[in-house]
Structure 1
């Protein structure tokens, strides 16, 4: 059974890639068909064969490059984010305004496609079922108009998984917060998220502004909502969910006990992918033939650099300077990180060394100086060496 589940997931991923490639291949047809080189396992390849293979690879890569210079690819996987969008839009009363019928249809299709055979959803598309993503996905489907018996039994199977694992009170804190905002769970069943923590002196280690970025940016809105005990308008679906998700009547749930119960969570990677693609293409020494790819990539790298800080005084918002950095995905994402900045900088430097008639105008030196300034400001002592080599693939 596990093998079948694995095959089904791989097939879905393959189909996504095939559809994506077919669309780009139609827009960028490869008119020159180079011969495929086949060699035996014990035969040494000639320089000509290696060069032909490189040309085939680069010609293929040129067909899947977007017009703005990056290489699009699927950066999906986590299943705990999309339900939050659905719940938030529902609470604000804008679900049907922001998401058209077709968008909602495709969201439902996406959720069904990644449902596990046991009825639940994993933390990511290849994960085993968890209460967090099963509970939130079930709620999202109901808010998107699905009935309790929709999806050829898929919704019913999801509800059965939730109840078989103790009911929705076993959802972790992130899920408890979303359900409280919706009105399908009580705020008294949450662990405290006091907004008063932001009033502490910043020099204290406990100040939320000193948290790791992912913790800080989650704690900020959650603490505000907790302080307000915000609950959206109670809809008919919300009232129904209060009956569907619990093992006992809603008004009899022991919220003090439920508080600590839990069951055993970017918009892409455009810059990251483009930076590595540039380095790989330049390493082939076939830049004269594939300069058009590099020119578009050069344009993308240049427009993706962050050119100003988040505000005139970033520290007042518990932010670091960002001018000169690169984000993991696009400029609009707005969150430069060290590794993306390093790879973007490396790609920019390499492209600066290329003739302008091949790759276009080089990045201005002042912008490269901004990158150096940001990079040096991010260097910190790490005596634990906890994160050394964490991005290396050892498979």
Structure 2
């Protein structure tokens, strides 16, 4: 069975100035679960597949089932019907908020965050797989069970007969993402084999989403919980969230940062990675690109599929 692993990390080359707090990734254990539990997960998969064109969001059912195994019955809350405005009383609203908070508390991880995927898989997954294949490390980075789930995800979400894009050019996403994802030399060809630094990134390939989204999500969740005026009843949930914020936030640097950066709720690992990443991008002229070194031709912009974003195929100073 699949298990969501949180705030852990023993992989080689993995670096963290935050003891991996907030990290989340899926791990497969073939020995985990009873036959009935495995059969239930297959039922969830089948139901999602059969309704994939009507309900495209998985609702994190695997994660919820994992949490429910540890807290039986906590996710099964009775609903309260409201048939007219007359039924909306202060008590009804308060009880509804209590049920919502009770449900939300069952989804909170032990480290204080509320896990969720913010990975942009439909956009990033093809480029990731292609890049790993070019480097010859698909089987090293992606175990067999992960490869099976990637194929399952692509099959469930692919758009048959229609290109899911703006229509600027007659190229499918798998083609236009190639020059954006692969390390192409300006003179053509692929970069040299893996260095010690690219290897260091392999340990993070299984991570879900972006580093920093977890702290962002927790900060907004705390604001919403406080707005219910029921914080006295759910103090334990807020304490866990507060602990996560204190451990994750780059508090010592906030006084030196502009307000717009503080608002992004940056994490310590995110700041550590960002500073080192930015310094590595500085070019001979002293300038910085926004995302990666400029390493190909400007004419590649003709295959840009986005009408709302210009100049995104290669990066600029």
| Length-normalised TM-score, structure 2 | 0.52
More relative contact order, 1 or 2 (CA 8 Å, 6+ apart)? 2
Distance 1:103 1:129, change over 3 A: farther
Q: Deviations over 1:149-174 (max 9, x none)?
A: xxxxxxxxxxxxxxxxxxxxxx54x5
Question: Given the alignment of the two structures, is residue 92 of structure 1 paired with residue 92 of structure 2, yes or no?
Answer: no
CA contact (8 A) 1:72 1:270 kept: yes
CA contact (8 A) 2:111 2:244 kept: yes
- How far apart, in 1, do the equivalents of 2:164 and 2:121 lie? 8
Question: Given the alignment of the two structures, is residue 59 of structure 1 paired with residue 107 of structure 2, yes or no?
Answer: no
Query: Which residues in structure 2 correspond to 1:225-244 (within 5 Å)?
Result: 225-227=184-186, 229-231=188-190
Distance 1:89 1:175, change over 3 A: closer
Question: Given the alignment of the two structures, is residue 45 of structure 1 paired with residue 88 of structure 2, yes or no?
Answer: yes
Question: Given the alignment of the two structures, is residue 11 of structure 1 paired with residue 55 of structure 2, yes or no?
Answer: yes
Question: Given the alignment of the two structures, is residue 267 of structure 1 paired with residue 173 of structure 2, yes or no?
Answer: no
TM superposition shift of 1:228: 5.7
- How far apart, in 2, do the equivalents of 1:290 and 1:114 lie? 38
Q: Deviations over 1:6-51 (max 9, x none)?
A: x7344241x4433332322333345598764333313053322222
CA contact (8 A) 1:328 1:336 kept: no
SS at 2:95 equivalent: helix
Distance 1:129 1:44, change over 3 A: farther
CA contact (8 A) 2:75 2:103 kept: no
CA contact (8 A) 1:91 1:232 kept: no
Alignment match of 2:145 (pick from 102, 108, 117): 102
CA contact (8 A) 2:112 2:244 kept: yes
Specify the alignment match of 1:186 in structure 2: none
- Report the RMSD for the aligned CA atoms in angstroms: 4.1
Specify the alignment match of 1:175 in structure 2: 178
- How far apart, in 2, do the equivalents of 1:329 and 1:110 lie? 30
Question: Given the alignment of the two structures, is residue 332 of structure 1 paired with residue 269 of structure 2, yes or no?
Answer: yes
| Length-normalised TM-score, structure 1 | 0.43
CA contact (8 A) 1:39 1:45 kept: yes
Query: Which residues in structure 2 correspond to 1:1-395 (within 5 Å)?
Result: 8-13=52-57, 15-29=58-72, 36-118=79-161, 122=164, 134-136=172-174, 171-172=175-176, 174-178=177-181, 181=182, 225-227=184-186, 229-231=188-190, 266-267=209-210, 269-306=213-250, 325=262, 327=264, 331-334=268-271
Specify the alignment match of 2:44 in structure 1: none
Q: Which runs of 5+ in 2 are unaligned?
A: 1-50, 193-208, 275-317
